[in-house]
Structure 1
Amino acid sequence: MNRYILKPILIFPLLLLFFSCGNSEGDSGNDQPEEIKKNGGISLSLKQFESSEMELGKMQEMMFPLTVQATGIIDVPPENKAMINSYTSGYVKQAPLLVGDEVKKGQFLLSLENPEYIQMQQDYLDAMEQMKYLRSEYERQKTLMDENITSEKNYLKAESDYKRNLSKYNALKEKLKMLNLNPVAIENGNISSVIRIYAPISGGITKMNINNGMYVSSSTPLMEIIDRDHLHLELDVFEKDIMKLEKDQEIKFMIPEAQSDTLEGLVHLVGTSIDGQKRTVKVHGHFKDEEAKSKLATGMFVQAEIITNESRQKALPENSVVSMEDRNYVLLLEDQSNGEYSFSRREVITGDTFNGFTIIKNGEDFEEDARFLTKGTFPLITE
């Protein structure tokens, strides 16, 4: 009886020892991957490296621009922008153009109609007819005065009547010219109830505030014309950066709402007065590429950088750096042997990015001949 009980008692501790050893080996196998993950270690075979078209590179010293940030708009000079108004009120008779139409200086824009125009022309003709009589009377009285035949009173009255009417005649004549009514044609009997308005500059119509039959006054803005040949940058720069600005400094800018491409310009003028509320100064910039203007429109919002100087910095290609949870990382090559690449994940402090390279502010933490993964970094770090 005791013999049968003894054997199971001896076997049981052996089984415990066996399973205990087995579990210990299994735990050891799981600990190693955890340790690699913790240290950021990543290993790749040569085949994986080449099939993923990965690349290695060293940190470089490069010249990076020192910039001043600015915002602004695309604009034109005042002389290249025209708001069309009428010198008098009237009803719109013709308005054949639309927003976007291009016009030449002197081209017909619209016409207005009003019975008052007829009265103005009639007043002009009356002044012209009176002119003939009053001038004749004035000359007669002057002759009589020279011969002491008439009194000075009669002479002065004739002179006053003539000059007062001459002033009225000339004033009406200028008014008619302002309304684009030809005084010579009116004197020949061609009276019109319609006036025509012509383009004061060449450009494109950007606003149209009228339609046929609409009543407009002299204060009503009828339409707007902008000559886009003189588009420029109108930037606002904060007061603290004014002393860094000079003419002909390079401008890098983009239109965030329209395109992501970076365009180039040059500083043309720097303002000399500060906006009291925003504490900024105006900077006028010209485009380097004249063809780029064809894609732009006045009023577009601009984000810009004005390059004021340069500094030498250590940098890596921007694809080398991966951002995760407000931190930036790179993969440093630790070993390359036996057809295998070993990398470690290292945190870096980054600066500005320019022309595809990012400044590494803590570049001195790495050896001069250190090599980094410059292509294919993102999937390895994020995984």
Structure 2
Amino acid sequence: MKRLIYISQLSVILAAMFTACGSGGEKTVEKQAEAELNEIVISQAQFEKAQMELDTLSEHVFSDFIMTTGMVNIPAEGRFDVSSYFGGNIVRFDLLVGQKVQKGQVLFTLENPQFVQMQQDYLDASSQLSYLKSDYERQKTLISENISSQKSFAKAESDYKSTLAITESLRKKLQLINIATRDLDPAKITSTANIYAPISGYIESIRVNQGTYLNPSDIALTIINKDHLHIELSVFEQDAIALAIGQQVTFYLPDNKDREFKGKIFLIGQSINEKRMLNIHVHLDDEKEGNLLVPGMFIEAKIAVKSKKSTALPATAVVNANEVNFVLVLMRQENDQYFLKKAKVEVGLQDSQMVEIRSEQDFAPGTRFLSKGGFQLVK
């Protein structure tokens, strides 16, 4: 009985207190309830299992982009068509498309009886040249002493210089088919000639095979060097005015957008093509990354044309719920528990990694935010 009276009296006292406080008291209770509703408590185990992370506001550079497409290419000096100055049958050929070759490496071997005749003619002319030179020197001495006739000197000079021209001509021809003349003698005459790689690189295409007769005008194969790959992009003419040498370019393959490559504009075309587009060329920041690319690959790219430094958070820290953006603020950490508060934020620019926080003034310096794992908590 006494307990019932006590409860009755307590109810009367509480009613009087609420009546005395009026609407002000009701608002205080509502605010406390709202605060408790926005507060989220998670344990250390939950934090680690969900792989959650905390972060603070930081400065980040946001850029406006021009979106475009293009392809991977190599400069003219990076592609070499291999042929021969003289025709012949290919008697040795063991290359494959895509194979790596080094400058100076033997690519294939030609055989032609003409090579034998060229070496024979060179040796004949070279042997005559030695005699004709000594005769020319002798006649030159005699004419200076008025012992020999002018006619004899003229003939000796003509024979020597004519044979010298023939010898040098044959020597140059033999050099063109990579046959050395310094140690050439009758025992070393050969009917074959090796064709060497003019540059280091990779075999892009092959147009012959062993046994093919290669004419002087035929291209046997093509070698490409990827040391200086560049990107060729096409930009609409209305965007051309925003371009400048040195602007940062980010590009990626359409099927692998997570793997980004960086580069800078180094050349801007000076005319609009028939498709009303402007061609630009981009150099990779790290040329070693060119080994991951193949000439002819189609790529998508974005060109940074304007930059702005702003306060930002990782994009994963901001959760949009019912058209409102929220972040989770760490209020305190006690006894292996994280006490988080849901707070509205005003966002601005955004890229693939960060989002601008325009309401930074609402948070004290050093405030920590849940930057990963907050999506399910807010939802």
- CA shift at 1:331, angstroms? 4.5
Partner SS for 1:157:
helix
Amino acid at match of 1:70: T
Q: Deviations over 1:215-246 (max 9, x none)?
A: 11122111222222322223233444344333
- Tell me the equivalent position of 1:198: 196
Q: Indicate conservation of the 8 Å contact 1:268/1:286, yes or no.
A: no
- Tell me the equivalent position of 1:263: 260
Partner SS for 1:270:
strand
- Tell me the equivalent position of 1:120: 118
Q: Indicate conservation of the 8 Å contact 1:232/1:287, yes or no.
A: no
Seen in structure 2, the aligned counterparts of structure 1 residues 243 and 270 have a Cα distance that, compared at 3 Å, is farther
- Would you say how many aligned residue pairs link Structure 1 and Structure 2? 292
- C-alpha distance in 1, partners of 2:324/2:282? 45
Q: Indicate conservation of the 8 Å contact 1:91/1:215, yes or no.
A: yes
Within-5 A mapping of 1:21-100: 64-100=62-98
Q: Indicate conservation of the 8 Å contact 2:63/2:308, yes or no.
A: yes
Q: Deviations over 1:338-365 (max 9, x none)?
A: xxxxxxxxxxxxx997316799xxx9xx
Amino acid at match of 1:115: P
- Tell me the equivalent position of 1:303: 300
- Tell me the equivalent position of 1:58: none
Amino acid at match of 2:151: K
- Tell me the equivalent position of 2:166: 168
Seen in structure 2, the aligned counterparts of structure 1 residues 353 and 113 have a Cα distance that, compared at 3 Å, is farther
More divergent stretch after superposition (239-248 vs 309-318): 309-318
Amino acid at match of 2:92: Q
- CA shift at 1:156, angstroms? 2.2
- CA shift at 1:316, angstroms? 12
Q: CA RMSD in A?
A: 4.0
- C-alpha distance in 1, partners of 2:199/2:61? 46
Partner SS for 2:227:
helix
- Tell me the equivalent position of 1:251: 249
Structure 2 segments unaligned to the other structure (5+ residues): 1-37, 43-49, 51-59, 326-347, 363-373
Seen in structure 2, the aligned counterparts of structure 1 residues 268 and 164 have a Cα distance that, compared at 3 Å, is farther
More divergent stretch after superposition (64-73 vs 300-309): 64-73
Amino acid at match of 1:297: V
- Tell me the equivalent position of 1:226: 224
Give TM-score, length-normalised by structure 2: 0.64
- CA shift at 1:163, angstroms? 1.1
- Tell me the equivalent position of 2:26: none
Within-5 A mapping of 1:280-291: 280-288=278-286
Partner SS for 1:142:
helix
Seen in structure 2, the aligned counterparts of structure 1 residues 188 and 117 have a Cα distance that, compared at 3 Å, is closer
Seen in structure 2, the aligned counterparts of structure 1 residues 317 and 223 have a Cα distance that, compared at 3 Å, is same
- Tell me the equivalent position of 1:104: 102
- C-alpha distance in 2, partners of 1:275/1:89? 43
- C-alpha distance in 2, partners of 1:298/1:70? 18
Amino acid at match of 1:294: N
Q: Indicate conservation of the 8 Å contact 2:112/2:191, yes or no.
A: yes
Q: Indicate conservation of the 8 Å contact 1:247/1:268, yes or no.
A: yes
- Tell me the equivalent position of 2:343: none
- CA shift at 1:262, angstroms? 4.6
Seen in structure 2, the aligned counterparts of structure 1 residues 81 and 63 have a Cα distance that, compared at 3 Å, is same
- CA shift at 1:190, angstroms? 0.5
More divergent stretch after superposition (275-284 vs 98-107): 275-284
Amino acid at match of 1:86: S
- Tell me the equivalent position of 1:355: 352
Partner SS for 1:197:
strand
Seen in structure 2, the aligned counterparts of structure 1 residues 83 and 275 have a Cα distance that, compared at 3 Å, is farther
Q: Indicate conservation of the 8 Å contact 1:236/1:283, yes or no.
A: no
- Tell me the equivalent position of 1:273: 270
- CA shift at 1:312, angstroms? 8.5
Q: Indicate conservation of the 8 Å contact 1:232/1:284, yes or no.
A: yes
Q: Deviations over 1:290-338 (max 9, x none)?
A: 56433211111222111011359999969978xxxxxxx96559xxxxx
- CA shift at 1:183, angstroms? 0.8
Seen in structure 2, the aligned counterparts of structure 1 residues 190 and 149 have a Cα distance that, compared at 3 Å, is same
Q: Deviations over 1:230-286 (max 9, x none)?
A: 222232334443443334322111222x53335232215123532554552332321
Give TM-score, length-normalised by structure 1: 0.63
Q: Deviations over 1:62-120 (max 9, x none)?
A: 96421223332212333333221111111111111211222222111110111111111
Seen in structure 2, the aligned counterparts of structure 1 residues 110 and 330 have a Cα distance that, compared at 3 Å, is farther
Q: Deviations over 1:178-207 (max 9, x none)?
A: 211111332353111100011222222221
- Tell me the equivalent position of 1:207: 205
- C-alpha distance in 1, partners of 2:323/2:184? 87
- Tell me the equivalent position of 2:179: 181
Seen in structure 2, the aligned counterparts of structure 1 residues 181 and 128 have a Cα distance that, compared at 3 Å, is same
Q: Indicate conservation of the 8 Å contact 1:252/1:262, yes or no.
A: no
Structure 1 segments unaligned to the other structure (5+ residues): 1-45, 54-61, 322-328, 334-350, 369-373
The percent of aligned pairs where both chains have the same amino acid is 35
Q: Indicate conservation of the 8 Å contact 1:242/1:281, yes or no.
A: no
Partner SS for 2:295:
coil
